[in-house]
Amino acid sequence: MNAIPLRAPAGPCVGRDRELSRLVECFEEACRDGERLVLIRGPSGVGKTRVMTVFRSRMRLEGTVVLEGRCTAGGRALAPLGDILRGALRFLEEVGREGDVDITPLAFLLGDQAPEKGCDQGMTPLEQRVRFFEAYCALIRALSRIKPPVILVHDLHRADPATVELLTHLLDGAGPWLDSPNGDRTLFGLVVASARTSDETDSVSRLAAHPK
């Protein structure tokens, strides 16, 4: 995990060139070697959102796919990753590749729609969870083989446990720790998450300890 601690800003994103350059470097590494995680940490009002907004704008101007989700206190479980999933599906539809992966296990994450009856028949709750996790990660990884994305997760300190668990699963591919990336299991993309240091939870600490 790459950490970018932020201190009090001198103005609107003034003095953040080093942090923004580091984010670009991490994205380039992720495109080449596999998944990278950057955690932007700092107190409230220090400029975490501003850095992520400027980075998002720069990457979009360069044609990079940017997927984005925001964690909210008391929000629906997996809501930020649902927003990221919708963005991924829009991109795959735009490039005519929406049929590359099976999204049936992900139907409930796209709204109130429930999975088709019988699709999980005979499966234990654990098997259903594994099927869901694998389907989500397969879709994001498939997208990354077409065009490596930047995935932004705002306010990680407010994330529900399921969001952190799925995000960790997404990062547990086979990227830079092998001599050559495993194309089927590797996410060729950068995950950037912001967290408020005064409200950090066990979830943030768990991701902060992630080797990616």
Under the banding of pLDDT at 50, 70 and 90, the label for residue 100 is confident
- Using DSSP, state whether 134 is helix, strand or coil: helix
* Gap between the Cα atoms of 175 and 34, Å rounded: 4
Under the banding of pLDDT at 50, 70 and 90, the label for residue 79 is very high
Cβ atoms of 89 and 68 closer than 8 Å? no
* Gap between the Cα atoms of 8 and 159, Å rounded: 24
Q: Cite the beta strand spans of the chain per DSSP E.
A: 2-5, 36-42, 65-70, 149-154, 190-196
Amino acid residing at 28: E
* pLDDT confidence of residue 94: 94
Residue-wise pLDDT for 124-167, tens only, equals 888 888 899 999 999 999 999 999 999 999 999 999 999 999 99
Under the banding of pLDDT at 50, 70 and 90, the label for residue 20 is very high
Under the banding of pLDDT at 50, 70 and 90, the label for residue 208 is confident
DSSP 8-state code for residue 76? P
* pLDDT confidence of residue 120: 61
- Its pTM stands at 0.85
Amino acid residing at 212: K
